[in-house]
Amino acid sequence: MKNYVIVVAGGKGLRMGGDIPKQFLPVKGKPVLMRTLEAFHACDAQLELILVLPADQQAYWKELCSTCHFTLPHRIADGGETRFHSVRNGLALVDEEGLVGVHDGVRPFVSQEVIRNCYREAAQKEAVIPVVEVVETLRRLEESGSETVPRSSYRLVQTPQVFTVSLLKQAYAQPYSPMFTDDASVVEAAGHAVHLIPGNRENIKLTTPFDLKVAEVLA
Ligand SMILES: Nc1ccn([C@@H]2O[C@H](COP(=O)(O)OP(=O)(O)OP(=O)(O)O)[C@@H](O)[C@H]2O)c(=O)n1
Ligand SMILES: C[C@](O)(CO)[C@H](O)COP(=O)(O)O
């Protein structure tokens, strides 16, 4: 039995913009992706790290690791057309039974407690995702206008999303659907229930330039 984390960083970062892909941007001087990988290693040094990066960014990443003296051992898989395809490429490197987490490379502020709880609960429940409550009023847009919906019925979903290896591999054998916006949606489409546990509010996904400003404060 072995535990893994697949850190996906195979996207284009269109909403962030800029010349440097967002996963490589420095936050308080250290590239985002290094912070993310370190968070998992700090939680469990035995966890096998699998990083998914676009093929044409891998040489740059290796150079960055050398410049920053970043030595955490990790294997690299090629990014795919969508997040689903990137996860599937990472999953192909998972070769033993155990637990596998999938985490967005651009969520460097996941807490140690959340990582630990996700893996611990997944050992029992097979499929676990961290979520946080909605803290603002929520409205649904309709053709005729919009209406407030009960926010206590909704949760915002974070990563890491952790599963047994056999379950996630079975789920990712399905054909791609645009409805697959995270790993839980893939697993549910394969007919398995997903268990929710509390996430941490700092675990934001660095998506826009505004998020980078927040990151500088959180780091
Ligand atoms: N083909 C893709 C698309 C996304 N991701 C990863 O999934 C995570 C969440 O995606 P998002 O924040 O949307 O990243 P991008 O797709 O890069 O951003 P954008 O939609 O703005 O282009 C990111 O770590 C991203 O690198 C990936 O590995 N492969
Ligand atoms: C996986 C995720 O971060 C959970 O909130 C989210 O669905 C990724 O969405 P994106 O549009 O690919 O950023």
> Tell me, what's the ipTM?
0.97
pLDDT tens digits, residue range 123-179?
999 999 999 999 999 999 999 999 999 999 999 999 999 999 999 999 999 999 999
Ligand nearest to the CA of 204: 2
CA 50 to centroid of ligand 1, rounded, Å: 16
CATH 3.90.550.10, applies to 2-218: yes
Q: Which atom of ligand 2 is nearest to the CA of 83?
A: 12
CA 144 to centroid of ligand 1, rounded, Å: 33
Residue 170 near ligand 1, beta carbon < 6 Å = no
pLDDT tens digits, residue range 69-120?
999 999 999 999 999 999 999 999 999 999 999 999 999 999 999 999 999 9
Query: Is residue 175 reached through a cis peptide bond, with omega within 30 degrees of 0 on the bond before it?
Result: no
- Indicate whether 12 pLDDT > 90: no
CA 17 to centroid of ligand 2, rounded, Å: 17
**Long-range contact list for 42-48, CB < 8 A, 24+ apart?**
42/112, 43/112, 43/115, 43/116, 44/3, 44/115, 44/116, 44/119, 46/3, 47/3, 47/4, 47/5, 48/2, 48/3, 48/4, 48/5, 48/75
Tell me, what DSSP letter sits at residue 176? P
Q: Is the pTM of this model over 0.90?
A: yes
Closest C-alpha to ligand 1, atom 26: 9
- Indicate whether 205 pLDDT > 90: yes
Residues with CB under 6 A from ligand 2: 83, 104, 157-159, 181-182, 205
Residue 205 near ligand 1, beta carbon < 6 Å = yes
CA 23 to centroid of ligand 2, rounded, Å: 15
- Indicate whether 53 pLDDT > 90: yes
